[in-house]
A and B are shown apart, each in its own frame.
Chain A
Amino acid sequence: MKKLALNDEILLQIDKPARYLGNEINAVMKNPDTVDVRFCMCFPDVYEIGMSHLGIQILYDMFNQREDVWCERVYSPWTDLDKVMREQKIPLFALESQDPVRSFDFLGITLQYEMCYTNILQILDLSQIPLNASERTWDDPVVIGGGPCAVNPEPLAEFFDLFYIGEGETSYFALIDAYKDVKKKNGSRQEFLERAAEIPGIYVPSFYEVTYHEDGTIASMEPVNSHAPRKVKRQVVTDLTHTYYPKKPLVPFIKATQDRVVLEIQRGCTRGCRFCQAGMIYRPARERSLEMLEEAALEMLKNTGHEEISLSSLSSSDFSHLQELVTFLIDTFGNKGVNISLPSLRIDAFSLDVMGKVQDVRKSSLTFAPEAGSQRLRDVINKGLTEEVILNGAGQAFEGGWNKVKLYFMLGLPTETEEDQKGIAHLAEKIARRYYEIPKDQRNGKCQITVSTSFFVPKPFTPFQWAPMCTREEFLEKAHTVNSEIKEQLNRKSIRYNWHEADVTVLEGIFARGDRRTAKALRLAYEKGCLFDSWSEYFHNDLWMDAFEEAGIDTDFYTTRKREADEIFPWDFIDIGVTRKFLQREWLRAQEETVTPNCKAQCQGCGATRYHTGICPGTDSLNLMEGENEA
């Protein structure tokens, strides 16, 4: 029988012991004596969140296809177990083997959002691995970070040995082979890091030195080891059909946030919304083939027994085989009790028809993300959704029997005025009026319009990376304006309004565009007890503010400051695919309120053509783009 790292007494007194057992359906067990490399993959949040992440499932499957590698998993112990582990000095362990994480060759940590950064320190701390990469020896695993926040890894630089920039399917095997080779020759850790630095997409933070101007901005960032490149190139999968995709995803015993099969139909997005980091850093837009997706859907449902399948992408309506795929899914699984969920669909005749087939119209709600309240501001952010399209879509839906609508907006976008904020209330009101145009005997009671606003955080590698962010007070003032205006509307009783917390947004803004110096505050905050910052009941803004003060960090420098066009950013050492010239052009066009067409209509010369794949046109524009790279 399987051994456990925790004894019965501990497991019976903590919440949801299944978080720490492993043994799930499709978990991979291997004999540790017959593998060369043990890789522990970590999602630094609670199990139910981490188990819902597709990226880890892809890499878990990919690594375990190699006979010489055993990839296992670890998640953040919840606060109840955290306390017990500290009291009893129990080292953090991987789920499959229940062996201590510290005994592994690699610890890979996915960086999905800034608010999990203290959890990374918890993982290292509980594993008894030195927090600072410079203090680690061959007795510790090589700690590597990846995922979307790795496009600005600098706030975490001192805690990681390596970062993987880009999509994991391409360079990991080269890294594993380099590791085996160095180990076989009895090489040093330094030797391995040098080998790693030569692998495309691998960033070794200790091989770079940053100098600063007197005003705090970066003067230079240069490699100080001859093996390290000046620019680290983001890795891109060029053929999404013939690559790794897990046919046997893990099935947890407790209900995960995503308790369903997730089918990633495409990567990247052609729309070019200027606030959207995903839309910039996953270029070019690439599709998987219909045949591959149909086969994967069949296999994954069979191997998991899940009762739901969800399509995943940034904009499902743009997938060219969407109708065929959805028809296939409905025809194949519709009568087998399998639900089909279709997030991020544009509302039109086709999607309403499909949704009417796969869900209960009376219970489900429609979602629109206009992001901004006025057409002027939607032009600034390049969100190609017009009021007419929203009202038409909502009208069709209301006539089809729906009466619930969700609307998502951002507050604090560049150039935003009070009129734009009030526009949010006015748009909600127009949708409500559209509903009440339907004769009383033909409609389904009252309509429910839920307006949600988040606060805008400028992100690296977007046209808005130069933009100042609002202060906490400005954010709350804006939310107040929206709230008051909604209360002025005729149909206010049909409109509900929620807004995000401002404190946590400010913190996210600091780390999103943070540099190496912010690490000090992160460490202090962790030492003061900050953990699970994305969980509002555990978020302690006062501790964070103390930490910044103690670290001597002026947070406004990272958030509200206006950046000059030629400022060197902490993330500029990464060649992300889109050029800085393109981003700068888009930033100017935003200020001129000029819309840029999406990639399908016309290539905008963003720089992603050099990957020769997906939506990008042939090699003609390639030569033109190369020159822009060094900008």
Chain B
Amino acid sequence: MKIRIRFRKYGIMKFIGHLDIMRYFQKAIRRADIDICYSSGFSPHMIMSFASPLGVGLTSDGEYLDIEIGNELSSASAVQRLNHVMAEGVEVLSFRKIPEEKSSNAMSLVAAADYEVRFRDSFAIPEGLENDWNSFLSQDSISIVKKTKKGERELDLKPLIYQAELRREPDESFCIFLRLSSGSADNVKPELVLEAFAAFAGFSIPEFALLIHRKDLYANTGSAEQPCFVSLEDLGEEF
């Protein structure tokens, strides 16, 4: 049976990198005595894959991993057993059955991600931020130079930003909501959008000034022209 686990990463666990989170879950699944399947061969490993690595320093409400299991009583008991062996800073939110086909793999499905970006208290918010933000978004194209392993390439961010909104929080601070293209094809990190915005508005963002929180990951069940984003969690069902 194929299973999708959704979990939350918060607090000090944001300092634990992706590879260590993978190791963490391998051990947690053993502690919770989940009947996970192993690959065959001389050194079998757990059948487990993560949807999308989360950078060090980021928190998230929507992290996913897919596993394969032999037998399990119910979603509710698995969630309970896993949360019983979690460290503070990781919470399992759901444990759902997903279709058996290869194409249902979370990693290959990821098409978009929601983020909330806040500024650290130490960062002085530039004047006229809201006006600049609106002008930034109303451009016909947002051209940036993206550094890749092979070199640099020019990229238009505009079609890869599905939603963008500058919100005022009750405490008067700013929160930028972004829904961005994600996954293996056109992966846009929220820092990239903020850097483009800062360059446009003529200010600079010092290192570590942004607090980034991932809200969820989505699959596109529509088409490229008319996307329909569905949370990865909603592609599975409780049992």
Measuring CB to CB, which residues of chain A are less than 8 angstroms from any residue of chain B? 1-2, 4, 8-9, 11-13, 17-18, 21, 23-25, 251, 253-255, 301-307, 337, 339, 360
State whether the Cβ of B128 lies closer than 8 Å to any Cβ in chain A.
no
Apart from A24-B87, A255-B23, A304-B27, 20 more pairs, CB < 8 Å: A1-B11, A8-B208, A9-B208, A11-B15, A12-B208, A13-B207, A17-B15, A18-B16, A18-B20, A23-B12, A25-B31, A25-B85, A253-B20, A254-B16, A305-B27, A305-B31, A306-B27, A307-B30, A337-B38, A337-B44
Q: How many whole Å from A2's CB to the nearest CB in chain B? A: 6
Contact between B30 and A253, CB atoms less than 8 A apart = no
State whether the Cβ of B42 lies closer than 8 Å to any Cβ in chain A.
yes
Which residues of A have CB within 8 Å of B85?
A: 25, 305
Which residues of B have CB within 8 Å of A253?
A: 16, 20, 23-24, 87
State whether the Cβ of B43 lies closer than 8 Å to any Cβ in chain A.
yes
Which residues of B have CB within 8 Å of A25?
A: 27, 31, 85, 87
Contact between A360 and B42, CB atoms less than 8 A apart = yes
Contact between B26 and A307, CB atoms less than 8 A apart = yes
13 intermolecular pairs with C-beta atoms under 8 Å apart:
A12-B57, A17-B15, A17-B56, A18-B20, A23-B87, A23-B88, A25-B27, A25-B87, A254-B16, A254-B20, A302-B33, A305-B29, A337-B44
- Once bound together, how far apart are the Cα atoms of A620 and B13, in whole Å? 60
A-contact bits for B2-26, CB 8 A (1 contact / 0 none): 0000000011110110001001101
Given contacts A2-B88, A253-B20, A360-B42, contact A13 B208 (CB under 8 A): yes
Q: How many whole Å from B42's CB to the nearest CB in chain A? A: 5
Contact between B30 and A305, CB atoms less than 8 A apart = yes
State whether the Cβ of B89 lies closer than 8 Å to any Cβ in chain A.
yes
Of B12, B44, B120, B207, most buried by chain A (CB within 10 Å of CB) is B12
Of chain B, the residue at the smallest CB distance from A254 is: B20
Which residues of B have CB within 8 Å of A255?
A: 20, 23
Contact between A302 and B31, CB atoms less than 8 A apart = yes
- Once bound together, how far apart are the Cα atoms of A24 and B15, in whole Å? 13
State whether the Cβ of B161 lies closer than 8 Å to any Cβ in chain A.
no
A-contact bits for B37-75, CB 8 A (1 contact / 0 none): 010001111100000000011000000000000000000
Measuring CB to CB, which residues of chain B are less than 8 angstroms from any residue of chain A? 10-13, 15-16, 20, 23-24, 26-31, 33, 38, 42-46, 56-57, 85, 87-89, 120, 207-208
Going nearest first, the 8 A-B pairs with the smallest beta carbon separation are A305-B27, A305-B30, A305-B31, A17-B15, A1-B11, A253-B16, A360-B42, A9-B208
Q: How many whole Å from A535's CB to the nearest CB in chain B? A: 22
Of chain A, the residue at the smallest CB distance from B120 is: A8
Of chain B, the residue at the smallest CB distance from A255 is: B23
- Once bound together, how far apart are the Cα atoms of A253 and B88, in whole Å? 12
Of B23, B44, B89, most buried by chain A (CB within 10 Å of CB) is B23
Q: How many whole Å from A405's CB to the nearest CB in chain B? A: 21
Q: How many whole Å from A371's CB to the nearest CB in chain B? A: 32
Which residues of B have CB within 8 Å of A304?
A: 27, 31
Of chain B, the residue at the smallest CB distance from A259 is: B23
Contact between A303 and B31, CB atoms less than 8 A apart = yes
Which residues of A have CB within 8 Å of B33?
A: 302
Contact between A21 and B30, CB atoms less than 8 A apart = no
Q: How many whole Å from B136's CB to the nearest CB in chain A? A: 26
Which residues of A have CB within 8 Å of B42?
A: 360
Which residues of B have CB within 8 Å of A18?
A: 15-16, 20
Which residues of B have CB within 8 Å of A305?
A: 26-31, 85
Of chain B, the residue at the smallest CB distance from A14 is: B15
Of A11, A339, A360, most buried by chain B (CB within 10 Å of CB) is A11
Which residues of B have CB within 8 Å of A337?
A: 38, 44-46
Contact between B27 and A251, CB atoms less than 8 A apart = yes
- Once bound together, how far apart are the Cα atoms of A11 and B11, in whole Å? 13
Which residues of B have CB within 8 Å of A11?
A: 15
- Once bound together, how far apart are the Cα atoms of A22 and B16, in whole Å? 12
Contact between A23 and B30, CB atoms less than 8 A apart = no
Given contacts A21-B12, A25-B85, A306-B27, contact A8 B57 (CB under 8 A): yes
Which residues of A have CB within 8 Å of B20?
A: 18, 253-255
- Once bound together, how far apart are the Cα atoms of A17 and B12, in whole Å? 10
Which residues of B have CB within 8 Å of A306?
A: 27, 30
Which residues of A have CB within 8 Å of B89?
A: 23
Q: How many whole Å from A252's CB to the nearest CB in chain B? A: 9
Contact between B29 and A21, CB atoms less than 8 A apart = no
Which residues of A have CB within 8 Å of B13?
A: 23
Which residues of B have CB within 8 Å of A13?
A: 207-208
- Once bound together, how far apart are the Cα atoms of A305 and B87, in whole Å? 13
Of the candidates B11, B44, B57, the one whose C-beta lies within 8 Å of that of A2 is B11
- Once bound together, how far apart are the Cα atoms of A254 and B207, in whole Å? 24
- Once bound together, how far apart are the Cα atoms of A339 and B26, in whole Å? 14
Which residues of A have CB within 8 Å of B44?
A: 337
Of chain B, the residue at the smallest CB distance from A338 is: B30
Q: How many whole Å from A5's CB to the nearest CB in chain B? A: 11
Which residues of B have CB within 8 Å of A4?
A: 12
- Once bound together, how far apart are the Cα atoms of A404 and B45, in whole Å? 25
- Once bound together, how far apart are the Cα atoms of A1 and B89, in whole Å? 9
- Once bound together, how far apart are the Cα atoms of A18 and B13, in whole Å? 9
- Once bound together, how far apart are the Cα atoms of A254 and B18, in whole Å? 11
- Once bound together, how far apart are the Cα atoms of A21 and B15, in whole Å? 9
- Once bound together, how far apart are the Cα atoms of A21 and B12, in whole Å? 7
Q: How many whole Å from A188's CB to the nearest CB in chain B? A: 40
Which residues of B have CB within 8 Å of A23?
A: 12-13, 87-89
Contact between B31 and A2, CB atoms less than 8 A apart = no
- Once bound together, how far apart are the Cα atoms of A332 and B15, in whole Å? 36
- Once bound together, how far apart are the Cα atoms of A1 and B13, in whole Å? 11
Q: How many whole Å from A6's CB to the nearest CB in chain B? A: 10
Given contacts A25-B87, A254-B20, A304-B31, contact A2 B26 (CB under 8 A): no
Which residues of A have CB within 8 Å of B56?
A: 12, 17
Of chain B, the residue at the smallest CB distance from A252 is: B20
Of chain B, the residue at the smallest CB distance from A3 is: B12
Which residues of A have CB within 8 Å of B12?
A: 1-2, 4, 21, 23
Which residues of A have CB within 8 Å of B30?
A: 301, 305-307
Which residues of B have CB within 8 Å of A9?
A: 208
- Once bound together, how far apart are the Cα atoms of A445 and B45, in whole Å? 28
Of chain B, the residue at the smallest CB distance from A11 is: B15
Q: How many whole Å from B139's CB to the nearest CB in chain A? A: 31
Of chain B, the residue at the smallest CB distance from A29 is: B88
Q: How many whole Å from A31's CB to the nearest CB in chain B? A: 16
Which residues of A have CB within 8 Å of B10?
A: 1
